[in-house]
Amino acid sequence: MNKYLITGFSGFVSQHFLDFLEKNQKKCEVLGLDINKPKFDISRYSNIRCSFAELNLLNSEEVKNVLTSFKPDYILHLASYSSVAFSWQQPVTAFVNNLNIFLNLVDQVRLLKLNCRILSVGSSEEYGAIHKDKLPLTEDMEVDPLSPYAVARVSQEQLSKIYCTGYNLDIVMTRSFNHIGPGQLEKFAIPSFVKKLLDIKKTGNKFIAVGNIDIVRDFVDVRDVVRAYFLLLKNGQKGQIYNICSGKGYTLKEILVKLMWQLNLSIALQTDPQLVRPSDNDIIVGSNEKIKKAIGWQPTITIDDSLSDIINYWAAK
């Protein structure tokens, strides 16, 4: 029976990964780690023997104990302070809770000589500002991180490579693009839009406050993302980096128009300087050719279906 250790267990992505395992795996065992207790019922699965430990990944001793007793076959490292905006507000906290937690984890795997595969989740933010003539982004391009969050992700990737080559750990890396879907926290752009628009439907307000909505992002549904994570854990190549993206770019404005269309709303957009970041990438669109060729993954859920599911999720809350 395969054993999965999932960090960042109480978050948005983890729940979708568990749903994927429940539907597609035979019996397996999962141990979830998080500093926060999960808000979902971990006994609801029939194919997964699921347990949880409340733990701060900065505490090496506790990480060591958990690894020693659970002995995972796979580690899905989802724990992250993944908001770019937050990383500008609190760069030290953001950096420590991205980079140092990862380093602590892989170093304990090294010290314990555990035989397990680790998925190191990175970000499209690592690429930085690339001239639009060079798009879509491919894994062999030079990275140029433009936020404290992006620097932490680049360091995580560089350390992953070094742990593979220097210490022979089995790590596969991703550069995951903006994922969206039901359950994502409202501090991220799209759920915040949906929540504001649903409020407007009730209150009848005539405008919505937004940041820079001309930026282009490559959105991929979280349910497609977790399938990629599973396939990479099984069939990805050690030491390799894989983009996880749709290959299509939309401005945030286009997303807002799609949401308003689905909600049958027509309102004005008002820029709030508080929501604009010190610096940002204009356009992020990735190529998913490498992962397609390597493990046959490609996205299956359209942007319109994702947005519809997100609206339904927030409407039901």
Q: What share of the chain is helix, strand, coil (3-state, %, to 5)?
A: 45, 20, 35
Query: In the beta sheet, which residues pair with residue 174?
Result: 121, 242
According to the binding rule CB under 8 A, does residue 190 interact with a second copy? no
Helix (H, G, I), strand (E, B) or coil at 175: strand
According to the binding rule CB under 8 A, does residue 249 interact with a second copy? no
Distance in angstroms (rounded) separating the CA atoms of residues 71 and 4: 9
Smallest gap from Cβ 52 to a second copy, in A, equals 25
> Binder to a second copy among 73, 107, 170, 289 (CB under 8 A)?
107
According to the binding rule CB under 8 A, does residue 88 interact with a second copy? yes
According to the binding rule CB under 8 A, does residue 239 interact with a second copy? no
Specify whether the CB–CB gap between 130 and 218 falls below 8 A. Answer: no
> Binder to a second copy among 166, 207, 234, 304 (CB under 8 A)?
166
> Binder to a second copy among 147, 176, 192, 288 (CB under 8 A)?
147
According to the binding rule CB under 8 A, does residue 100 interact with a second copy? yes
- Cβ-in-10-Å burial (0-12, 13-18, 19+) of 56 comes to middle
For a second copy (CB under 8 A), the number of binding residues is 29
Q: Could you tell me the CA-to-CA distances from 94 to 98, 165, 176 in Å, in that order? A: 6, 27, 18
Smallest gap from Cβ 99 to a second copy, in A, equals 8
Enumerate binding residues for a second copy (CB under 8 A): 60, 88, 91-92, 95-96, 99-100, 103-104, 107, 110, 142, 145-148, 151-152, 154-155, 158-159, 162, 165-167, 278-279
